[in-house]
Amino acid sequence: MPRRDSPGPESWETLFTGISHLVTPAPGPQRGPAMRELTVVEDAALLVQGGLVAWVGPRRDAPRTPSTRDLGGVAVVPGLVDPHTHAVWAGDRLADFEARLAGVPYEEMLARGGGIRSTVRATAAAPMEELVQLARPRLEALARSGATTVEVKSGYGLDFEAEVRMLRAVRELQSLLSVTLLPTLLIHVPPETGRAAYVQAVCAELIPQVAGEGLAVAVDVFCEREAFTVGETRAILSAARGHDLGVKLHADQFHALGGVELACDLGALSVDHLEASGPAQIVALAASETVATVLPGVTLHLGLPAAPARALIDAGACVAVGTDLNPGSSPLFNAGLALALAVRLNGLTPAEALTAGTVNAAAALGLRDRGALAAGQRADFLALHSPDWRDLVYTLGASPVRDVFVGGERISL
Ligand code: NIG
Ligand code: FE
């Protein structure tokens, strides 16, 4: 249960020692070869003041402080950022899973009114308290896996009241959990009839309401053949921009329809999925500030091609990795495992994966204050079981993460 341990009087300033290696990317988004440039400090110390990193360096050079905490000789890395989840849902997709294993494609289930639409029916019928109860253990699992910041999308509501209920559930979850939650309004599936009027109402009613109540920091659209067209996506994201909300896209999951190009043109925070992206999309992303977020859980669970993260990094793009935790395409409740899969399935090096899951994932959420262990950054960090940080992306099926610190305080897991 990730709540902060009660802070002692010394908690304003603590020097952490017993760090075999402190390993971190530089602050801010990193692209191309810079994704591999980690700073490694052997026998390190980390000074936390008021929830922020105040100093990092070799232990022998550390400033003197009354309060020290020995971590026992293990590796320390920044807290992970999961930039893409659909952690709030009701019902399950176990029958879908079996049907898919028997050969029915995911898109076909959606086209037949199943898939995402079945989760929409169950979620729209659930009261907010039930959504909170269902989502809480999922977010606790992500926190245990090392995620100290997690994006959570709506998108299973369809009708506006249910979308707003999902976002209110995220607000309630934030009051129960120590990790930071970033709520995103996701416009996910069009209604079966009256889609033009629906898009119009999303722009004129839903987005203004969500912005007015401060219920989301960004708007995302699923741009795909079975979902929204490029034109509809542009209209919705332009309305979001008009209300000072960040913009993001689900694009190129099954078909490269132009969603990536739209994301780059709009200067979106991120464009996510990219399993169907090819050379033209890679060139566009390499030339833009938009973060390319890949979701290896989807590749594993749906058997889709892996997004071309290796080629994106080689071309100079800024790549992030997320779990895409959701019941249909990625039941992956572990942010470290998403990085481990990105190494195996998308061809990232361990160093690139750490950067993708920290500073670059933070940039995909418009955040630059976290993801690196450097003076001025949030003191969100992980103490591993191992003295070698690479265990984070090597281990499969057991947790390489021993302790999770948020703002310099250990959360109980
Ligand atoms: O990111 N692609 C669309 N949306 C989700 C899946 C949601 C679902 O299948 O329930 C995704 O993969
Ligand atoms: Fe998604």
Backbone angles phi, psi at 120, to 5 degrees: -60, -45
**Region of 50 on the Ramachandran plot (φ > 0 left; ψ -120 to 50 alpha; else beta):** left
Tokens of 300: 């594993």
- Rg from Cα positions in the chain: 21
Three-state DSSP state, 352: helix
Break the chain into its structural domains and give their ranges: 3-77+369-412, 81-363
Q: What is the pLDDT of residue 10?
A: 46
Q: Could you tell me which residues are beta bridge partners of residue 320?
A: 293
C-beta separation of 378 from 78 below 8 A: no
Provide, for the chain, the percentages of residues in helix, strand and coil under a 3-state DSSP scheme, each rounded to the nearest 5. 40, 25, 35
Q: Tokens at residue 144, please?
A: 């245990």
Q: Which residues surround ligand 2, an ion (CB under 5 A)?
A: 324
Centre of ligand 2 to C-alpha 272, Å, is: 8
Torsion of CA 177, 16, 402, 336, to 10 degrees: 70
Show pLDDT as tens, one digit a residue, over the chain (413 residues). Answer: 445 554 444 458 999 999 999 999 999 999 999 999 999 999 999 999 999 999 999 999 999 998 999 999 999 999 999 999 999 999 999 999 999 999 998 888 888 878 999 999 999 999 999 999 999 999 999 999 999 999 999 999 989 999 999 999 999 999 999 999 999 999 999 998 999 999 999 999 999 999 999 999 999 999 999 999 999 999 999 999 999 999 999 999 999 999 999 999 999 999 999 999 999 999 999 999 999 999 999 999 999 999 999 999 999 999 999 999 999 999 999 999 999 999 999 999 999 999 999 999 999 999 999 999 999 999 999 999 999 999 999 999 999 999 999 999 999 88
| 320: its two tokens | 């992030």
> Collapsing DSSP states into helix, strand and coil, what is residue 387?
coil
Q: Evaluate: CB of 326 within 6 angstroms of ligand 1.
A: yes
Give the CATH fold of the 3-77+369-412 domain.
Urease, subunit C; domain 1 (2.30.40)
Return phi, psi of residue 77, to 5°: -130, 165
Residue 330 Cα to ligand 1 middle (Å): 8
Quick check: 207 and 245 in contact, CB under 8 A? Answer: yes
Non-local CB neighbours of 3 within 8 Å, separated by 6+ positions:
177, 178, 411, 412
For 81-363, CATH gives 3.20.20.140
**Distance in Å, CA 221 to ligand 1 centroid:** 11
Ligand 1 atom nearest 106 alpha carbon: 9
Q: Which atom of ligand 1 is nearest to the CA of 116?
A: 10
Element (H, E) at 139: helix 128-144
Q: Which residue ranges make up the annotated binding site for Fe(3+)?
A: 84, 86, 250, 324
The encoded tokens of residue 391 equal 């265990």
CA–centroid distance, 285 to ligand 1, in Å, is 22
Give the distance (Å) from ligand 2 centre to CA of residue 82: 12
Residue 6 has a pLDDT of 46
Residue 370 C-alpha from the chain's centroid: 13
Annotated binding site for 4-imidazolone-5-propanoate: 93, 156, 188, 253, 329
| Secondary structure (DSSP) of 26-61 | PSS---GGGGG--EEEEEEEEEEETTEEEEEEEGGG
Q: 100: Cβ below 6 Å to ligand 1?
A: no
| CB of 322 shorter than 6 A to ligand 1 | no
Position 11 scores a pLDDT of 59
- For position 67, what pLDDT does the model report? 94
Centroid of ligand 1 to alpha carbon of 328 (angstroms): 6
- CB atoms inside a 10 Å sphere around CB 44: 26
Give φ, ψ of 290 to 5 degrees: -65, 130
The answer, yes or no, to whether any atom of ligand 1 lies below 6 A from the CB of 346, is no
Alpha carbon 64 to chain centroid, angstroms: 37
Residue 83: exposure state from Cβ atoms within 10 A (0-12, 13-18, ≥19): buried
* The predicted structure's pLDDT at residue 264: 98
**CB–CB of 156/124 below 8 Å?**
yes
Residue 158 confidence (pLDDT): 81
CB of 119 within 6 A of ligand 1: the answer is yes
The CA 326 to ligand 1 mean position distance, Å, reads 7
Closest by Cα among 389, 345, 388, 410 to 143: 410
Q: Which amino acid, one-letter code, is at 31?
A: R
The amino acid occupying position 398 is: A
Ligand nearest to the CA of 301: 1
Q: State residue 106's pLDDT score.
A: 84
Check if the beta carbon of residue 113 is closer than 8 Å to that of residue 67.
Answer: no
Pocket test for ligand 1, best of 116, 223, 224, 228 (most atoms within 8 A of CB): 116
Q: Where are the beta strands (DSSP E) in 123-257?
A: 147-153, 180-187, 218-223, 246-251
Q: Are 330 and 295 in contact (CB under 8 A)?
A: yes
Atom index in ligand 1 nearest the CA of residue 327 equals 10
Q: Residue 9: how many CA atoms within 13 Å on its side-chain side?
A: 1
